[in-house]
Amino acid sequence: MDYLTDPLLLSRLQFALTTAFHITFPTLTIGLGVYLVFIEYLWLKTHDLVYFRQFRFWSGLFAVNFAVGVVSGIPLEFQFGANWGPFSATVGNFFGQILGFEGTMAFMLESAFLYIMLFGWKRVGPRMHFFATIMVAFAASLSAFWILVANSWMQTPSGGHVANGIFVVDDYLAAVFSPDLPLAFTHMYLACLSVSLFVIGAVSGVNILLGRHPAFFLRSFKFAAVAALVVTPLQAFVGDLNGQEIGRLQPAKVAAIESHWDTNKPGEGAAWNMLAWPDPANERNYFEISIPYALSLLITHSPTGIVPGLKDFPRQDRPPIVLPFYSFRLMVGVGGMMVAVMAWTLWWWRRGRLTPGRAAENKPLYLAWVLMAAGAYLAVVMGWVTREVGRQPWLVYGLIRTEGGHSANLSATEVGLSLAGFIAAYTLLGAAFLFFMGRLLRKGPNMDEMPPAGHLPGRTAG
């Protein structure tokens, strides 16, 4: 029970829990925003009313998700000052700017155009409304970009140096576009799309099973299936590239993620541990089930590539092992199941089984989509656990240790009470989200709704 008296551990737990809760909302907001752009484009091109009604239905879910995401994200920035004061004092002149860009360039932009997107149908013309939808999706993506700029810089700090306890920027663009950013942002963005597509498919599948507007939801289900068939394998490909990059930039993280203790000798490939239980005290694994040469292939794309082991790094610089080891395997395992569900969907589609009249036969498939929607969220959270715990014991890799960035004046009681308050508040917030989202889902699409006069076919006013 020592963790209950350690303010540093409690602060880390508080930030981890609040971040894990918050991240689920922008993940859906980003992907759903892209979907809304596509649907409104189809509405403008075809004037098929089903696309207008699709937009109206899914934009309602977008609005609820966006609102809860905003509320749950506000406390995160306050924790930097309250719990991580020395970190903020050291890097605030750069890190604070990045978070400020996220708030002013992304959040404010998204909020302004969101009003037009949701309530501007009778106030603006089709082209202006479509532009507003594009800007909402763009702003959501821009928000993700700036957050990844901040986090990637913490993973691979660049563009400056620490002088007199302050990070001094020497090359601003190098600091913004740190080595970790390109692949990390791409991987996360594809994860947002994957989550959103599986949520769209899951919601559509459940409604088809219940006989609620099956033709309407079959269209959104098929779109989600086609898009996920492209996005899911692409995400796995980018993840593989990202793994190689991490092996080059953060070799200790890779060694911890793989519970890999000894650097393989030249000409001898490193084995990949499918399962293992590490024994850090004795620098070994209690047991392991491994595949020869596989780790070298994964990290270097060579069967005999050199992969540094944990023993190459000082004990005080080694990350924890158990948590990133198993969180990474959960993420990869869910990703594999998502690809399998996509193959299953394609097979049934080719056999002509994806029709409203055969919903009962498709029940296992639709339920698999529901499970994978939940699994996609789990994979995102596990990916962030792998990324953040694997960076330890550094808050900013190689520059600031985690204990050095923590506010030393906080007591365990203070942080514990704060943590309990956050848990209570986020529980209520989650319950409110489920209530309002459930009400929208039960209500379903309004199949009698017609677009305002200015948006009817033949009217092209902007």
Q: What is the pLDDT of residues 195-240, one digit of tens each?
A: 999 999 999 989 988 888 888 898 999 999 999 989 988 998 998 8
In a domain, 335, yes or no: no
Instruction: Look at residue 193 in the predicted model and tell me its pLDDT.
Output: 94
Cβ atoms of residues 224 and 409 within 8 Å? no
348-358: pLDDT as tens digits:
888 777 777 77
74-130: pLDDT as tens digits:
888 888 777 888 888 888 888 888 888 887 777 788 888 888 888 888 888 888 889
Residue 183, pLDDT > 90, answer: yes
Q: How many CB atoms lie within 10 A of CB 378?
A: 17
Per-residue pLDDT, averaged over 43-65, amounts to 89
Residue 188, pLDDT > 60, answer: yes
In a domain, 268, yes or no: no
417-443: pLDDT as tens digits:
888 988 999 999 999 999 998 888 888
Question: Residue 84: what are its φ and ψ, rounded to 5°?
Answer: -130, 50
- 54: closest CA among 42, 65, 45? 42
In a domain, 332, yes or no: no
Q: What is the number of domains present in the chain? A: 1
Instruction: Look at residue 149 in the predicted model and tell me its pLDDT.
Output: 93
Whole-number mean pLDDT of the chain? Answer: 87
Cβ atoms of residues 83 and 407 within 8 Å? yes
160: containing domain: 1-178+411-461
In a domain, 33, yes or no: yes
- 225: closest CA among 321, 132, 353, 102? 353
pLDDT grade for 458, boundaries at 50, 70 and 90: very low
242-297: pLDDT as tens digits:
888 888 899 999 899 988 888 888 888 888 888 888 888 888 888 888 888 888 88
C-alpha dihedral, 217 to 221 to 224 to 230, nearest 10°: -160
In a domain, 431, yes or no: yes
pLDDT grade for 451, boundaries at 50, 70 and 90: confident
Residue 38, pLDDT > 60, answer: yes
Distance separating alpha carbons of residues 260 and 268, to the nearest angstrom = 14
Per-residue pLDDT, averaged over 392-409, amounts to 88
Instruction: Look at residue 359 in the predicted model and tell me its pLDDT.
Output: 66
In a domain, 362, yes or no: no
Pairing of strands 400-401, 394-396: antiparallel
- With 0.85 as the threshold, say if the pTM is over it: yes
In a domain, 157, yes or no: yes
Which tokens belong to 68? 């809860």
Instruction: Look at residue 455 in the predicted model and tell me its pLDDT.
Output: 67
Per-residue pLDDT, averaged over 290-309, amounts to 86
C-alpha dihedral, 14 to 20 to 22 to 27, nearest 10°: 160
In a domain, 121, yes or no: yes
